[in-house]
Protein backbone atom coordinates (compact mmCIF):
# COMPACT_ATOMS: atom_id res chain seq x y z
CA UNK A 1 0.00 0.00 0.00
CA UNK A 2 1.45 3.32 -1.01
CA UNK A 3 0.62 6.81 -0.01
CA UNK A 4 -2.75 8.40 -0.03
CA UNK A 5 -3.62 10.28 -3.20
CA UNK A 6 -2.08 13.70 -3.38
CA UNK A 7 -5.31 15.49 -3.95
CA UNK A 8 -8.76 15.15 -5.28
CA UNK A 9 -8.52 16.51 -8.76
CA UNK A 10 -12.19 17.28 -8.97
CA UNK A 11 -13.11 20.85 -8.30
CA UNK A 12 -9.56 22.10 -8.46
CA UNK A 13 -8.97 25.30 -10.30
CA UNK A 14 -6.80 25.45 -13.39
CA UNK A 15 -5.52 28.24 -15.54
CA UNK A 16 -3.96 31.56 -14.69
CA UNK A 17 -3.38 32.44 -11.09
CA UNK A 18 -5.10 35.44 -9.57
CA UNK A 19 -3.24 37.92 -7.37
CA UNK A 20 -5.25 36.66 -4.42
CA UNK A 21 -4.11 33.10 -5.01
CA UNK A 22 -0.55 34.27 -5.40
CA UNK A 23 -0.74 36.10 -2.11
CA UNK A 24 -2.17 33.09 -0.34
CA UNK A 25 0.63 30.92 -1.64
CA UNK A 26 3.30 33.45 -0.77
CA UNK A 27 1.91 33.97 2.71
CA UNK A 28 1.72 30.27 3.40
CA UNK A 29 5.22 29.51 2.18
CA UNK A 30 6.70 32.43 4.07
CA UNK A 31 5.17 31.06 7.23
CA UNK A 32 5.55 27.34 6.77
CA UNK A 33 7.94 26.79 3.93
CA UNK A 34 7.19 24.60 0.97
CA UNK A 35 7.91 21.25 2.43
CA UNK A 36 4.90 19.29 1.31
CA UNK A 37 3.25 20.34 -1.90
CA UNK A 38 0.58 17.75 -1.49
CA UNK A 39 -0.92 19.27 1.62
CA UNK A 40 0.04 22.85 0.91
CA UNK A 41 -3.02 23.91 -1.11
CA UNK A 42 -5.37 22.63 1.54
CA UNK A 43 -3.66 24.48 4.36
CA UNK A 44 -3.07 27.56 2.25
CA UNK A 45 -6.72 27.72 1.29
CA UNK A 46 -6.11 27.21 -2.39
CA UNK A 47 -8.29 25.28 -4.79
CA UNK A 48 -5.25 24.08 -6.67
CA UNK A 49 -3.34 20.87 -6.81
CA UNK A 50 0.07 20.75 -5.22
CA UNK A 51 1.73 20.40 -8.53
CA UNK A 52 0.22 23.62 -9.76
CA UNK A 53 1.30 25.39 -6.58
CA UNK A 54 4.83 24.11 -6.89
CA UNK A 55 5.01 25.26 -10.48
CA UNK A 56 3.63 28.67 -9.65
CA UNK A 57 6.08 29.11 -6.84
CA UNK A 58 9.19 27.84 -8.57
CA UNK A 59 8.53 29.55 -11.87
CA UNK A 60 7.01 32.81 -10.80
CA UNK A 61 6.62 33.67 -7.14
CA UNK A 62 9.97 32.63 -5.75
CA UNK A 63 11.66 35.75 -4.38
CA UNK A 64 15.00 35.04 -6.03
CA UNK A 65 13.56 34.97 -9.50
CA UNK A 66 15.21 37.43 -11.80
CA UNK A 67 12.70 39.04 -14.10
CA UNK A 68 13.28 40.92 -17.26
CA UNK A 69 15.20 40.25 -20.41
CA UNK A 70 18.22 38.06 -20.70
CA UNK A 71 21.62 39.69 -20.84
CA UNK A 72 24.10 38.89 -23.56
CA UNK A 73 26.16 36.90 -21.14
CA UNK A 74 23.16 34.92 -20.06
CA UNK A 75 22.26 34.27 -23.66
CA UNK A 76 25.73 33.15 -24.54
CA UNK A 77 25.85 30.97 -21.48
CA UNK A 78 22.59 29.36 -22.46
CA UNK A 79 23.89 28.65 -25.93
CA UNK A 80 27.11 27.20 -24.62
CA UNK A 81 25.41 25.05 -22.05
CA UNK A 82 22.78 23.92 -24.49
CA UNK A 83 25.48 22.85 -26.88
CA UNK A 84 26.76 20.57 -24.17
CA UNK A 85 23.70 19.59 -22.22
CA UNK A 86 21.02 19.70 -24.85
CA UNK A 87 17.50 20.36 -23.65
CA UNK A 88 18.42 19.85 -20.04
CA UNK A 89 16.72 23.04 -19.03
CA UNK A 90 16.96 22.45 -15.34
CA UNK A 91 20.68 21.83 -15.59
CA UNK A 92 21.08 24.99 -17.62
CA UNK A 93 18.95 26.93 -15.17
CA UNK A 94 21.18 25.76 -12.35
CA UNK A 95 23.97 27.76 -13.95
CA UNK A 96 21.88 30.88 -14.31
CA UNK A 97 20.92 32.22 -10.91
CA UNK A 98 17.45 33.64 -10.81
CA UNK A 99 16.34 32.01 -14.04
CA UNK A 100 13.94 29.12 -14.15
CA UNK A 101 14.10 26.18 -16.45
CA UNK A 102 10.76 27.18 -17.88
CA UNK A 103 11.93 30.69 -18.60
CA UNK A 104 15.10 29.48 -20.25
CA UNK A 105 13.18 26.95 -22.26
CA UNK A 106 10.76 29.60 -23.45
CA UNK A 107 13.56 31.99 -24.26
CA UNK A 108 15.37 29.33 -26.19
CA UNK A 109 12.34 28.41 -28.22
CA UNK A 110 11.24 31.95 -28.96
CA UNK A 111 14.52 33.78 -29.38
CA UNK A 112 17.74 31.83 -29.46
CA UNK A 113 16.53 28.98 -31.58
CA UNK A 114 15.26 31.31 -34.26
CA UNK A 115 18.37 33.39 -34.13
CA UNK A 116 20.60 30.39 -34.63
CA UNK A 117 18.47 29.25 -37.53
CA UNK A 118 18.81 32.64 -39.15
CA UNK A 119 22.54 32.39 -38.65
CA UNK A 120 22.58 29.08 -40.45
CA UNK A 121 23.32 27.12 -37.31
CA UNK A 122 21.34 24.08 -36.41
CA UNK A 123 20.01 24.77 -32.90
CA UNK A 124 20.02 21.10 -32.10
CA UNK A 125 23.55 20.23 -33.13
CA UNK A 126 25.04 23.72 -33.02
CA UNK A 127 26.69 22.89 -36.29
CA UNK A 128 26.13 24.54 -39.65
CA UNK A 129 22.86 23.42 -41.05
CA UNK A 130 23.38 20.61 -43.46
CA UNK A 131 20.11 21.22 -45.18
CA UNK A 132 21.43 24.61 -46.21
CA UNK A 133 24.76 23.27 -47.32
CA UNK A 134 23.60 20.23 -49.16
CA UNK A 135 22.62 22.20 -52.17
CA UNK A 136 25.12 20.62 -54.47
CA UNK A 137 22.62 18.43 -56.20
CA UNK A 138 20.52 21.43 -57.04
CA UNK A 139 23.32 23.73 -57.97
CA UNK A 140 25.54 21.38 -59.90
CA UNK A 141 22.79 20.63 -62.38
CA UNK A 142 22.13 24.20 -63.24
CA UNK A 143 23.91 27.20 -64.58
CA UNK A 144 23.84 28.55 -61.06
CA UNK A 145 26.86 26.45 -60.43
CA UNK A 146 29.47 29.13 -60.86
CA UNK A 147 27.54 31.56 -58.79
CA UNK A 148 27.04 29.05 -56.07
CA UNK A 149 30.70 28.21 -56.03
CA UNK A 150 31.50 31.82 -55.52
CA UNK A 151 29.07 32.03 -52.67
CA UNK A 152 30.43 28.89 -51.13
CA UNK A 153 33.81 30.55 -51.17
CA UNK A 154 32.30 33.38 -49.25
CA UNK A 155 30.84 30.91 -46.87
CA UNK A 156 34.30 29.57 -46.38
CA UNK A 157 35.34 33.02 -45.37
CA UNK A 158 33.38 32.60 -42.17
CA UNK A 159 34.86 29.31 -41.22
CA UNK A 160 35.71 30.50 -37.78
CA UNK A 161 31.99 30.41 -37.29
CA UNK A 162 31.15 27.42 -39.35
CA UNK A 163 32.81 24.15 -39.22
CA UNK A 164 35.50 24.51 -41.83
CA UNK A 165 35.60 20.87 -42.63
CA UNK A 166 31.98 20.73 -43.48
CA UNK A 167 32.21 23.77 -45.70
CA UNK A 168 35.26 22.36 -47.36
CA UNK A 169 33.46 19.16 -48.01
CA UNK A 170 30.49 20.99 -49.35
CA UNK A 171 32.71 22.86 -51.74
CA UNK A 172 34.53 19.71 -52.63
CA UNK A 173 31.29 17.99 -53.46
CA UNK A 174 30.45 20.79 -55.79
CA UNK A 175 33.72 20.63 -57.66
CA UNK A 176 33.41 19.13 -61.15
CA UNK A 177 37.13 18.31 -61.16
CA UNK A 178 37.01 16.13 -58.13
CA UNK A 179 38.05 12.62 -58.58
CA UNK A 180 35.38 10.03 -58.41
CA UNK A 181 37.10 8.30 -55.58
CA UNK A 182 37.34 11.39 -53.51
CA UNK A 183 33.82 12.21 -54.40
CA UNK A 184 32.57 8.95 -53.08
CA UNK A 185 34.61 9.21 -49.96
CA UNK A 186 33.56 12.73 -49.29
CA UNK A 187 29.95 11.96 -49.88
CA UNK A 188 30.26 8.97 -47.63
CA UNK A 189 31.76 11.14 -44.99
CA UNK A 190 29.15 13.80 -45.30
CA UNK A 191 26.29 11.36 -45.48
CA UNK A 192 27.53 9.53 -42.45
CA UNK A 193 27.70 12.77 -40.58
CA UNK A 194 24.19 13.56 -41.64
CA UNK A 195 23.05 10.12 -40.62
CA UNK A 196 24.86 10.40 -37.35
CA UNK A 197 23.21 13.70 -36.74
CA UNK A 198 19.84 12.15 -37.29
CA UNK A 199 20.72 9.26 -35.06
CA UNK A 200 21.81 11.51 -32.26
CA UNK A 201 18.84 13.79 -32.60
CA UNK A 202 16.41 10.94 -32.72
CA UNK A 203 17.62 9.73 -29.39
CA UNK A 204 16.16 12.76 -27.79
CA UNK A 205 19.44 13.78 -26.32
CA UNK A 206 21.22 16.47 -28.10
CA UNK A 207 24.43 14.72 -28.74
CA UNK A 208 27.01 16.49 -30.63
CA UNK A 209 27.93 15.65 -34.09
CA UNK A 210 31.28 17.28 -34.24
CA UNK A 211 33.26 17.31 -37.38
CA UNK A 212 36.91 16.76 -37.76
CA UNK A 213 38.82 19.96 -37.51
CA UNK A 214 41.57 19.28 -39.86
CA UNK A 215 42.59 20.29 -43.30
CA UNK A 216 42.78 16.72 -44.30
CA UNK A 217 39.82 15.16 -45.85
CA UNK A 218 39.09 11.79 -44.45
CA UNK A 219 40.74 9.11 -46.42
CA UNK A 220 39.37 6.30 -44.44
CA UNK A 221 35.99 6.20 -42.90
CA UNK A 222 36.01 4.25 -39.73
CA UNK A 223 33.17 2.49 -38.10
CA UNK A 224 30.86 4.81 -36.26
CA UNK A 225 29.86 3.67 -32.82
CA UNK A 226 26.43 4.63 -31.71
CA UNK A 227 26.07 7.63 -29.50
CA UNK A 228 24.10 6.68 -26.49
CA UNK A 229 24.86 8.99 -23.67
CA UNK A 230 25.98 12.39 -22.79
CA UNK A 231 29.30 11.09 -21.72
CA UNK A 232 29.90 9.24 -24.89
CA UNK A 233 29.53 11.83 -27.54
CA UNK A 234 28.93 10.71 -31.04
CA UNK A 235 32.08 9.53 -32.51
CA UNK A 236 32.87 10.42 -36.02
CA UNK A 237 35.00 9.15 -38.78
CA UNK A 238 38.47 10.47 -38.33
CA UNK A 239 41.13 11.00 -40.83
CA UNK A 240 44.36 9.19 -40.27
CA UNK A 241 45.92 12.39 -39.13
CA UNK A 242 43.23 13.25 -36.71
CA UNK A 243 42.86 10.23 -34.58
CA UNK A 244 40.93 10.19 -31.40
CA UNK A 245 43.17 11.82 -28.91
CA UNK A 246 42.99 13.14 -25.46
CA UNK A 247 44.00 16.73 -25.41
CA UNK A 248 45.76 17.89 -22.36
CA UNK A 249 44.58 21.40 -21.85
CA UNK A 250 48.01 22.44 -20.75
CA UNK A 251 49.26 21.42 -24.11
CA UNK A 252 46.94 23.62 -26.02
CA UNK A 253 48.44 26.34 -28.10
CA UNK A 254 49.11 29.19 -25.80
CA UNK A 255 48.02 31.77 -28.26
CA UNK A 256 44.43 31.02 -29.05
CA UNK A 257 43.72 34.34 -30.60
CA UNK A 258 44.67 33.00 -33.94
CA UNK A 259 43.65 29.49 -34.37
CA UNK A 260 44.17 29.29 -38.04
CA UNK A 261 47.39 27.40 -37.71
CA UNK A 262 46.30 25.14 -34.98
CA UNK A 263 42.82 24.54 -36.25
CA UNK A 264 43.75 24.38 -39.84
CA UNK A 265 46.95 22.43 -39.73
CA UNK A 266 45.81 19.44 -37.88
CA UNK A 267 46.20 18.73 -34.26
CA UNK A 268 49.47 19.29 -32.50
CA UNK A 269 51.56 16.21 -32.48
CA UNK A 270 52.26 16.37 -28.82
CA UNK A 271 48.72 15.60 -27.86
CA UNK A 272 47.92 12.44 -26.11
CA UNK A 273 45.58 9.87 -27.48
CA UNK A 274 42.20 10.63 -26.05
CA UNK A 275 41.23 13.68 -27.87
CA UNK A 276 37.69 13.74 -29.00
CA UNK A 277 36.67 16.83 -30.87
CA UNK A 278 33.43 17.13 -29.03
CA UNK A 279 32.34 20.35 -30.52
CA UNK A 280 33.81 23.50 -31.81
CA UNK A 281 33.04 26.36 -29.56
CA UNK A 282 31.55 28.49 -32.25
CA UNK A 283 31.55 32.09 -31.44
CA UNK A 284 27.96 33.00 -32.08
CA UNK A 285 28.59 36.65 -31.58
CA UNK A 286 31.85 36.97 -33.35
CA UNK A 287 33.70 38.52 -30.51
CA UNK A 288 37.43 38.38 -30.80
CA UNK A 289 37.55 37.19 -27.28
CA UNK A 290 35.67 34.07 -28.08
CA UNK A 291 36.76 33.59 -31.61
CA UNK A 292 38.86 30.60 -30.82
CA UNK A 293 37.66 27.38 -29.37
CA UNK A 294 38.46 27.90 -25.76
CA UNK A 295 40.89 25.51 -24.22
CA UNK A 296 38.77 25.69 -21.12
CA UNK A 297 35.61 24.73 -22.81
CA UNK A 298 33.85 21.94 -24.40
CA UNK A 299 36.08 20.73 -27.13
CA UNK A 300 38.46 19.18 -24.73
CA UNK A 301 38.22 16.25 -22.50
CA UNK A 302 39.57 16.30 -19.07
CA UNK A 303 43.12 15.23 -18.81
CA UNK A 304 41.88 12.55 -16.51
CA UNK A 305 41.26 9.65 -18.80
CA UNK A 306 38.72 8.22 -16.40
CA UNK A 307 36.45 11.08 -17.12
CA UNK A 308 34.94 11.17 -20.49
CA UNK A 309 33.95 14.74 -20.05
CA UNK A 310 34.70 17.47 -17.62
CA UNK A 311 31.72 19.60 -16.87
CA UNK A 312 33.70 21.59 -14.40
CA UNK A 313 35.91 22.75 -17.17
CA UNK A 314 32.95 23.69 -19.24
CA UNK A 315 31.18 25.70 -16.68
CA UNK A 316 34.22 27.54 -15.59
CA UNK A 317 34.52 29.47 -18.77
CA UNK A 318 34.63 33.17 -18.58
CA UNK A 319 31.23 33.66 -20.03
CA UNK A 320 29.64 31.04 -17.92
CA UNK A 321 31.55 31.86 -14.82
CA UNK A 322 29.72 32.36 -11.58
CA UNK A 323 30.39 36.04 -11.75
CA UNK A 324 27.22 38.07 -11.72
CA UNK A 325 25.53 37.77 -15.03
CA UNK A 326 24.19 41.22 -14.92
CA UNK A 327 27.61 42.69 -14.97
CA UNK A 328 28.39 44.73 -18.00
CA UNK A 329 28.97 42.56 -20.96
CA UNK A 330 32.24 42.58 -22.77
CA UNK A 331 30.84 41.43 -26.03
CA UNK A 332 28.47 43.62 -27.87
CA UNK A 333 27.38 45.99 -25.28
CA UNK A 334 26.87 48.71 -27.78
CA UNK A 335 23.88 46.85 -29.08
CA UNK A 336 21.14 47.47 -26.63
CA UNK A 337 18.18 45.94 -28.32
CA UNK A 338 17.58 42.54 -29.75
CA UNK A 339 17.23 43.98 -33.21
CA UNK A 340 20.59 45.59 -32.86
CA UNK A 341 22.07 42.35 -31.69
CA UNK A 342 20.61 40.48 -34.60
CA UNK A 343 21.79 43.13 -36.96
CA UNK A 344 25.23 42.77 -35.49
CA UNK A 345 25.11 39.05 -35.91
CA UNK A 346 23.88 39.18 -39.44
CA UNK A 347 26.62 41.58 -40.35
CA UNK A 348 29.11 39.08 -39.13
CA UNK A 349 27.42 36.27 -40.93
CA UNK A 350 26.76 37.56 -44.36
CA UNK A 351 25.71 34.38 -45.98
CA UNK A 352 25.05 35.13 -49.53
CA UNK A 353 22.68 32.69 -51.01
CA UNK A 354 21.49 33.28 -54.51
CA UNK A 355 18.13 34.95 -54.45
CA UNK A 356 16.72 32.39 -56.76
CA UNK A 357 17.22 29.73 -54.13
CA UNK A 358 14.55 31.18 -51.94
CA UNK A 359 16.58 30.66 -48.83
CA UNK A 360 13.55 31.36 -46.71
CA UNK A 361 12.28 27.96 -47.62
CA UNK A 362 15.10 26.46 -45.64
CA UNK A 363 14.59 28.60 -42.59
Residues in a beta bridge with 232: 229
- 110 near DNA, judged by CB under 7 A: yes
* DSSP label at residue 37: T
Distance CA 190, CA 177 (A): 18
Write the CB contacts of 65 (distance below 8 Å, at least 6 apart in sequence): 59, 98, 99, 100
Task: Pick between residue 50 and residue 128 the one whose CB is nearest to DNA.
Answer: 50
User: Applying CB under 7 A, does 42 fall inside the site for DNA?
Assistant: no
Q: Is there binding between residue 17 and DNA (CB under 7 A)?
A: yes
Q: Which is nearer to DNA, 7 or 211 (CB)?
A: 7
For DNA, which is the closer residue by CB, 56 or 126?
Answer: 56
CB neighbourhood size of 57 (10 A):
19
Judged by CB under 7 A, does residue 36 bind DNA?
yes
Asked whether position 74 contacts DNA by CB under 7 A, the answer is no
* Position 15 contacts DNA (CB under 7 A): yes
Angle at 31 between CA 29 and CA 32, to 5 degrees: 65
89 in contact with DNA (CB under 7 A): yes
Cα torsion angle, 177, 179, 183, 189, sign: negative
Q: Least distance (Å) from DNA to the CB of residue 220? A: 35
Burial class (CB in 10 A: 0-12, 13-18, 19+), 322: exposed
In the list 24, 56, 95, 341, the residue contacting DNA (rule: CB under 7 A) is 56
Query: Does residue 322 touch DNA according to CB under 7 A?
Result: no
Task: Name the residue nearer to DNA (CB basis): 101 or 165.
Answer: 101
Nearest residue to 311 (alpha-carbon basis) of 55, 83, 153, 98 = 83
Closer by beta carbon to DNA, 27 or else 258: 27
Binds DNA (CB under 7 A): choice among 42, 51, 66, 318: 51
Measured distance CA(91)–CA(97) in Å, rounded: 11
345 binds DNA (CB under 7 A): no
By the rule CB under 7 A, 201 interacts with DNA:
no
Told to check if 33 binds DNA by CB under 7 A, we report: no
Among 26, 59, 98, 118, binds DNA (CB under 7 A): 59
- Ordered alpha helix ranges (H), the chain: 19-32, 40-44, 50-56, 72-85, 89-94, 101-107, 113-118, 130-133, 136-139, 145-156, 164-174, 180-202, 260-264, 311-314, 338-348
Nearer to DNA among residue 1 and residue 356 (C-beta): 1
Q: Which residues bind DNA (CB under 7 A)?
A: 1-7, 13-17, 36-38, 50-52, 54-56, 59-60, 87-91, 101-103, 105-107, 109-111, 114, 204
Amino acid sequence: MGRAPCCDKNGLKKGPWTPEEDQKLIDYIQKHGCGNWRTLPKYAGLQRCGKSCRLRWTNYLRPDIKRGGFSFEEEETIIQLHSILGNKWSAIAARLPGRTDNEIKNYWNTHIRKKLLRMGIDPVTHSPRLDLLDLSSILSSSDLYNQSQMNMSRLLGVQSFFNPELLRLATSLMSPQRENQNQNQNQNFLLQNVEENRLCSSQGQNRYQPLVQSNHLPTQVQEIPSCNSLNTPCSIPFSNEAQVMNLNVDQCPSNLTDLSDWQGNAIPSNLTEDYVPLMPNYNYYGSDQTLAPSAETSIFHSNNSNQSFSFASVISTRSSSPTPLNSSSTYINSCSTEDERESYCSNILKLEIPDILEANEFM
